[in-house]
Amino acid sequence: MSTGMVYDPIYLQHDTGNHPENCRRLVIIMSHLERTKVLDELTMLSARAALAEELQTVHTAEYIARVKDVAEQGGGQLDPDTSMSEQSYKAALYAAGGLLVAVESVIKGEVNNAFALIRPPGHHATASHAMGFCIFNNVAIAANFALRNLGIGRVLIVDFDVHHGNGTEEAFYTNPNVLYFSTHQHPFYPGTGGIDEIGSGEGEGTTVNFPMTAGWGDEQYLKAFNEVLVPVALRFRPQLILVSAGFDPHWADTLAMMQVSIPGFAQMVTVLKELATELCDGRLILALEGGYNLEVVAASVHTTFNVLLGSSQIDDPLGRSLKKRPQGFPEHLARIKRLHHISSGG
């Protein structure tokens, strides 16, 4: 089993100071992977800068020019949550382009699957606005790249970041060739991702939101994956699976209030890997989104690579949360299944 990894030192040059989304996230991840010898098992993939025409499959030319201009002026705020330094534009180009390299490498069979350790993250970025630490929507750009250039007809995007990927949803809300599935704390930033957001026009039914009540954890996430994601994916039959992998649903991440553990993430990635094996020749690519507890994000990335490599080893220094879960999940699950025409048996 060959697993690719995208990383480039330029990602560290996106200097956000003491912002929660800072370069220390990647520094500790890379240090952890080196110390645990996981790097020795991976195929390194060299990132490149995304081209203007690739960015423009999602973003307006005016927005791209604005991002470049802010960087050339030494940095600044794109929105209240999203800051830039002088090198942030280049880092953002290499984040988007790095994921394109991963997608192309998997589709061409150079590696079986891949994880792109990129920043800045992307799933909140819309066509014309930065949002929530995100500059360019890396996963949306990658999906369009596969559809337009690599002979892929249907893409499944799975987003398990604790925040809803409003930018990704917006990019494909009317597109029948992209199935977007998201688990996220709700109500929470950015305020989107309600159950009734299911797509429109030709894309009706290809947006599947599974909003989560604060406090739900492994059991609820795994049921959402097995009882909603799996049947809608089997019905859609994707040829490629892209994942916005955010590790901020972990119980120790202070930016949110979910109760997922590292073994919970391992179970979710295992479901995704099994779906990819069954439906699309194993073509599975993950892109790093959120996750702000440094110990958690390092161990979670390590464990994710283990799953991709076919190992059952779980790196879990923190264990599981013992907090009592809020009620109401069975009724919530049943409502989502009815909305998306999923039988009670799955």
**Which CATH number goes with the domain that contains 96?**
3.40.800.20
* Number of structural domains found in the chain: 1
Residue 176 in tokens: 């029948």
Q: Whole domain around residue 140: which residue ranges?
A: 3-339
344 part of a folded domain: no
Active site residue 19: no
CA separation, residue 31 to residues 45, 56, 102, 109 (Å):
18, 35, 21, 28
Residue 299 CB partners (closer than 8 Å, separation 6+): 32, 262, 315, 316, 317, 318
Helix (H) or strand (E) segment spanning residue 244 = strand 240-245
Tell me the per-residue pLDDT of 38-91, one tens digit each, with 9 for 90 and over: 999 999 999 999 999 999 999 999 999 999 999 999 999 999 999 999 999 999
Alpha helices per DSSP H over 255-321 = 262-279, 294-309
CA distances from 289 to 119, 181, 283, 296 (A): 8, 15, 19, 14
pTM over 0.95: yes
Helix pair 262-279, 294-309: axis angle to 10 deg: 30
Residues 275, 278, 280, 285, CA torsion sign? positive
> What does the pLDDT look like over 276-309, one tens digit per residue?
999 999 999 999 999 999 999 999 999 999 999 9
Q: Is 198 inside a domain boundary?
A: yes
CA angle 46/49/55 to nearest 5° reads 130
Residue 240: inside a domain? yes
What pLDDT does 282 receive?
98
Domain annotation covers residue 345: no
For 212-225, b/e burial (b = at least 16 CB within 10 A) is bbebbbbebbbebb
Residue 90 is encoded by which pair of tokens? Answer: 């280049």
Does 193 fall in a domain? yes
Q: What is the mean pLDDT of residues 178-192?
A: 98
Rounded to whole angstroms, how far apart are CA atoms 136 and 130? 7
The alpha carbon dihedral of 324, 328, 330, 334 has a sign of negative
| Candidates 32, 59, 123, 124; catalytic one | 124
Is 21 contained in some domain?
A: yes
